[in-house]
Structure 1
Amino acid sequence: MGEETDDKRNFALREASGEETSVFTGKIPRQAALKAARKLAPSDSEEAASREEFRLRERGTHKLHIYEGWAWREDAPEDSPEWMPETVTEANVSKEGIEHLEEL
């Protein structure tokens, strides 16, 4: 782990219309997908969370990573810093596949 940040990749959240509305950064697609999933409306528990499909296009490529994601609220850990809220949003994702776009 050096000081280089070149290994970060950008993934654009792609709507059904083809519009790209947000960009999430990660070394691997799953890391960016977890960040995107935390933006979903959180449920009270992981079991109650509804799953939503979303697509991330890796910037500079025609690869579309398809994920199912869900988010939920959880109490912050006992040893959390004072600035952290009492409840935090957790998320998980499941990779559904990859599509290749014909054109952008």
Structure 2
Amino acid sequence: MTVGDRRIIDLVRELVSEDPRVREDACGTVTDWVGSVDPREATLLAMILSSSAALEEDVRCRESQLHALVELSDTGLIRSRDFSPIHCMDRGFLQGSEVEYFEYLATEYKDSDSE
């Protein structure tokens, strides 16, 4: 089963919303849908989440974005290149569980850049 184009487009709009509460809620939707996404949808979501997390100024949103990336990574549908923007993040700005999520992704995909 896939999420489908219409629902993915709606979710993408929410993930890039100007309102941090909408972005945070959309990350929750991603985690709720991880069992329903296909590889194309997972890649799209990972690319958006990683680019957003790398630029995010709202701590709660960034934590939610990184959490959603970890959940997506656990599906086995995404590769390191799908979330490469997070590798440019300044780890000094990460707090609490953000550090754990970042380190998990960095460790889990350390040697898989060629995939």
Instruction: Name the TM-score class by shorter chain.
Output: under 0.3
TM-score, structure 2 as length reference: 0.24
Greater C-alpha Rg: 1
Higher strand share: 1
Higher helix share: 2
